[in-house]
Amino acid sequence: MREGTYSFDVECKNLERDQWELWVQRLQADVIRPIGVGSGWNGIEVNVELSSRLSDLHFIDKKGDDGLSSAIRDEIAARIENQISEVDISKLPHEVSMPGVARIRVQERVADGVGGSVGGIEISPVAKLRKIIVNGVLPALGQLAASECGIVAVRSEHLPDALLFEIAMDALAKAKPDAMSRIAGVALFSPIQPEIFWTSKTKEAAADFMAYFGKNNARLSS
C-alpha cells in the first residue's frame, strides 16, 4: 500500500471474543428473559446490576470442559429469577441485595420505559490491552516485511483507554526497538467504540500513516 511518499506493509488482526465474554452474554440473556415483555411483568421495570467480578467464575478445566461454569451461570440466573418472583409488586419500588451476586431494583415502569435491564459486569480495559498486545500487535510485528514501513491494524470488540494504550505502546517501542523501529503506527478498531491510534515518535512516515487511516478507517473497522 502506498500513501504519500511511503510504501506501507499493513498487517491486520481480528480478535474474536473471549469465552468469558460469551459466558457473560449468555448470563445476561438468561437473567433478562423472565422479565421481558409478555412475561407477565408488563408495567413493571426490573433492573439487575450483576456483581462486577462474576465473570471470574467462568473457567474451562484441563479437558476443555466448561460444564461447571455453565451450571454456575444457570444457578445464578435461577436464583435471581426466584428473588424477583418473590417481590410484592403492590409495594414498589423495592430493592433486593444478593451479596456477591447482584442488586435488583423493581419499580413501576416510567412512560416509554423498557421492561428491564441487566448490567454491572466489568470488561477490564487492562485485560483488553493485554490481549491486544499479546494476540494482535506482537504477532503482527513478526509478520511485517522487513523491507517495508509497517502498519499494524487490530480489530477488537472492546478497546482499552487511549492513554493506557499510548503508555503501553511507548514502553513497547523502548523494550523492542528493533521491531518497533520498522512501523509508523498502530491502529485499533472496534464496531462499538471510536478508533484509537498510536504513531511512532521517530518514524518520518507517521504523518502518512495517519493520512492513510483517515481515508480507510471506515472500511477497516467494518
- Residues 81, 140, single domain; the answer is no
* Residue ranges making up the domain that contains 114: 19-119
Nearest residue to 192 (alpha-carbon basis) of 169, 158, 141, 163? 158
Pick the last residue of a domain from 91, 119, 147.
119
Place of cell 492513554: 163
pTM: 0.62
Domain total of the chain: 2
Question: Which of 119, 147, 170 represents a domain boundary (last residue)?
Answer: 119
- Tens digit of pLDDT at every position of the chain (222 positions): 554 555 677 888 888 777 778 888 889 888 888 776 445 566 788 889 999 888 888 776 656 567 888 899 999 999 999 998 898 888 889 999 999 999 999 988 776 656 678 888 877 778 889 989 998 999 988 888 766 678 888 998 888 889 999 999 999 999 998 888 878 889 898 887 778 888 877 666 667 777 766 655 544 444
Q: CA-CA distances (angstroms) from residue 197 to 9, 93, 133, 154, 167?
A: 17, 45, 14, 10, 12
